[in-house]
Amino acid sequence: MIRCPAKAGRRKAVAAVWRCGGGSVIDTCKAANLYATYPADLLDYVNAPIGKGRPIPGPLKPHIACPTTCGTGSECTGITIFDLLAQHVKTGIASKRLRPSLALIDPATTYTLPRNVVAASGFDVLSHALESYTAKPYTRRAASPTPSLRPMSQGANPWSDVGCEAALKLAGQYLQRAVNDASDTEARDRMMYAATLAGIAFGNSGVHLPHGMAYSVAGLIRDYRTAGYPQDEPMVPHGMSVIVNAPSVFRFTASACPQRHIHGAHCLGAEVKGATDEDAAEILAGQLIKMMRATGIPNGIGGVGYGEADVEALTRGAWAQQRLLNNAPRETLQDDLRHLYRGGMSYW
Amino acid sequence: MIRCPAKAGRRKAVAAVWRCGGGSVIDTCKAANLYATYPADLLDYVNAPIGKGRPIPGPLKPHIACPTTCGTGSECTGITIFDLLAQHVKTGIASKRLRPSLALIDPATTYTLPRNVVAASGFDVLSHALESYTAKPYTRRAASPTPSLRPMSQGANPWSDVGCEAALKLAGQYLQRAVNDASDTEARDRMMYAATLAGIAFGNSGVHLPHGMAYSVAGLIRDYRTAGYPQDEPMVPHGMSVIVNAPSVFRFTASACPQRHIHGAHCLGAEVKGATDEDAAEILAGQLIKMMRATGIPNGIGGVGYGEADVEALTRGAWAQQRLLNNAPRETLQDDLRHLYRGGMSYW
């Protein structure tokens, strides 16, 4: 249900927007609210270099977001992401002005979701939290002297850490239950709350490589379809396109902040007693793989239809996401991305 | 330093307030902002039954709070507390409209604080978190059908729990260090952050008995003075007047939610392996007493000058704080308060 579709947003009489739906619907309405309030060409506010990156001039109309999936956390963030079909790229607009005025979060909207929707959106939550927790520390992010040019994504910081740890503990305890048993309303309630906590965290810290690599995993899909989603065209759900990269990524980033990787795995339920820095990569990757297998996630990037022949195209797509690559705890070159896609082709 | 003292607040030309100081200064400026924006008789907005409890009609002027002690968390709450000298009572105003627009929190302001100021404000933080975590669950608080009459303090809830747990872990790790070594800036930084986290939590959940009992402990003081504070009149610092009640209170409340008492003690650093519900009271009280002794806090209510002859007057003062008593996890009668004051006279 969309109460403020993009076209309606163009009418000047709009006084407020109310949106009810998953992340795509919420993101659409953020943009509708923006262009209704401060009319402009589509690309004016879009992130540079694809758009002009013009700052949003002032507050938008009041808007109330009602998420219906336990995933994106879009109700807490100032980010809207969309496919720019004309240029075959995924891009977005980022500004604290886009953050909804109010979120009404009712987990009962998730009780009838198919299991794969819960799995995909649940792993989106999990990865928001894990990426924000392992992001480049805020003390190492370059800060522009011009406040309007400073990125909303500040890197890992004490405030985002609080949300990340709480969301990871909930995901570790409830994700598998929420996917595998639709009648387990306690588990679905907790995953909805985890989505909000992770949204608060990543809207502040920012995500990095698993999300950056997901853009091309989703965008270049050939014939993969997911049960529980519309079957009319090939599609890999967002959270699935993220998590298939994650074990490969965390094996690469573990050396940058091993204790954070170990603690992340611990929050998810892994046994970490006696673990040393050298164990960080395998402990976290192993825990993720275990959870992916237990919830029917495809076996890596190969599991959604990619192979060695796709590595170049996947890498080109990810390389365009410099905003996200720059938030990773390690410098990531094009060759690293090739290595990460190859490492993520199959996990078991 | 007060940029907007109460009198200046009465001038209509005030466009915004900026305040820099401890909790009393911030609370004073919240009230100044209110009466400057919506002039009224002092008691109009004050909590009933002492005041008329009139709702604040609209948003206040923008205001920026800069706390200089790691204690009250007032920068995060919609509460202002003051002594109404004419009636010899402590009371306040509670409305989300009072919450500052922005807080600038610089822990460097605490580096020169005397150790007792850090101890008293640090235990205020710890008790905010512990009381919010053990407060009556939000599902058991009666909700008025009239939104404006619903208390801001909702009882323990999943959002306040996140802030409480994070603040308790920080207090467990850093309070003693912050008190005992002024050069330990890491510890003072972390306690400042704990104060903010606990402020977010208790501004939402609400405190209960240790704070409710503290009103008369502070108000009836005869000749107690604290090193590090002004010596011109007798005074027990707020956080000290709270924590001297705490072990006695948590021995009383443990049976209502023993696992929360055990987990609270665990966050503070206590060994809880193998603890049963029956151990909850002593584990938490014991951990608090250990921390009080390690930081030079007086030995209970007796330690600040009270004795058996004061129990009736102390109880009368606490009994007036129904807003706080109603947030306790157990029903608390006047006889219970007598018992709690007696139990708090001396701990070691």
Of the pLDDT bands very low, low, confident and very high (cuts 50, 70, 90), residue A13 is low
Rg, chain B, Cα only: 19
Encoded amino acid at B37, one letter: T
Give B124: exposed, middle or buried? Use CB within 10 Å, 0-12, 13-18, 19+.
Answer: buried
Greater model confidence, A17 or A119 = A119
Weakest-pLDDT range from A86-90, A283-287, B13-17: B13-17
Whether the pLDDT of residue A4 is over 80: the answer is no
Half-sphere exposure of A114 (CA within 13 A, CB side): 10
Predicted confidence (pLDDT) per residue in A122-171, tens digit:
999 999 999 999 999 999 887 778 776 677 789 999 999 999 999 999 99
What CATH topology corresponds to A6-103? Rossmann fold (3.40.50)
Predicted confidence (pLDDT) per residue in A229-242, tens digit:
999 999 999 999 99
Q: What is the pLDDT of residue B92?
A: 87
Q: Where are the domains of chain B?
A: 8-103, 114-343
CB atoms A193 and B158 under 8 Å: yes
Q: Say how many CB pairs under 8 Å bridge A and B.
A: 11
Closest residue of A to B189, CA-based? A158
* Average pLDDT in chain B: 91
Predicted confidence (pLDDT) per residue in B237-254, tens digit:
999 999 999 999 999 999
Of the pLDDT bands very low, low, confident and very high (cuts 50, 70, 90), residue A86 is confident
Class of domain B114-343: mainly alpha
- The residue-averaged pLDDT of B163-175 equals 97
Closest residue of A to B197, CA-based? A159
Of the pLDDT bands very low, low, confident and very high (cuts 50, 70, 90), residue B8 is very low
Of the pLDDT bands very low, low, confident and very high (cuts 50, 70, 90), residue B148 is low
Whether the pLDDT of residue A69 is over 70: the answer is yes
Query: What percent of chain A shows pLDDT beyond 90?
Result: 75
Structural contact between residues A60 and A101, judged by C-beta atoms closer than 8 angstroms: no
- The residue-averaged pLDDT of B44-65 equals 91
Distance CA A210, CA A190 (A): 24
Q: What is the pLDDT of residue A148?
A: 67
Predicted confidence (pLDDT) per residue in B298-327, tens digit:
999 999 999 999 999 999 999 988 889 999
Of the pLDDT bands very low, low, confident and very high (cuts 50, 70, 90), residue B13 is low
Half-sphere exposure of B29 (CA within 13 A, CB side): 29
Q: What is the pLDDT of residue A1?
A: 28
Proportion of chain B in helix, strand, coil states, percent, rounded to 5: 55, 10, 40
Distance CA A207, CA A164 (A): 11
- Alpha helices per DSSP H over A254-333: 258-267, 280-294, 311-319, 322-325
CB atoms A162 and B166 under 8 Å: yes
Contacts of B165 in chain A (CB under 8 A): 166
- The residue-averaged pLDDT of B23-43 equals 92
Name residues 150-209 of chain A within 8 A of B (Cβ).
158, 162-163, 165-166, 193, 197
**Residue B166 Cα, gap to closest chain A Cα (Å):** 7
Predicted confidence (pLDDT) per residue in A250-283, tens digit:
999 999 999 999 999 999 999 999 999 999 999 9
Of the pLDDT bands very low, low, confident and very high (cuts 50, 70, 90), residue B9 is very low
DSSP string, A44-80: GSSPTTTS--PPP-S----EEEEE-SSS--GGG-SEE
What's the ipTM?
0.85
Predicted confidence (pLDDT) per residue in B72-111, tens digit:
888 888 989 888 888 777 788 988 899 999 999 999 999 9
Whether the pLDDT of residue A192 is over 90: the answer is yes
Contacts of B166 in chain A (CB under 8 A): 162, 165
Q: What is the pLDDT of residue B89?
A: 74
Of the pLDDT bands very low, low, confident and very high (cuts 50, 70, 90), residue B131 is very high
Distance CA B37, CA A62 (A): 23
Predicted confidence (pLDDT) per residue in B183-238, tens digit:
999 999 999 999 999 999 998 899 999 999 999 999 899 999 999 999 999 999 99
Of the pLDDT bands very low, low, confident and very high (cuts 50, 70, 90), residue A89 is confident
Q: A20: which DSSP letter?
A: E
**Residue B218 Cα, gap to closest chain A Cα (Å):** 33
Name residues 223-242 of chain A within 8 A of B (Cβ).
none
Q: What is the pLDDT of residue A2?
A: 32
Structural contact between residues B211 and B203, judged by C-beta atoms closer than 8 angstroms: no
Of the pLDDT bands very low, low, confident and very high (cuts 50, 70, 90), residue B71 is confident
Weakest-pLDDT range from A25-29, A243-247, B341-345: A25-29
CB atoms B193 and A158 under 8 Å: yes
Q: What is the pLDDT of residue B14?
A: 62
Architecture of domain A115-343: Up-down Bundle (1.20)
DSSP string, A113-136: --HHHHHHHHHHHHHHHHHHHHSP
Identical fold for domains A6-103 and A115-343, yes or no, is no
* Average pLDDT in chain A: 91
Of the pLDDT bands very low, low, confident and very high (cuts 50, 70, 90), residue B23 is confident
Phi/psi for B276 (5° steps) reads: -105, 170
CATH tag, B8-103:
3.40.50.1970
Whether the pLDDT of residue A19 is over 90: the answer is no
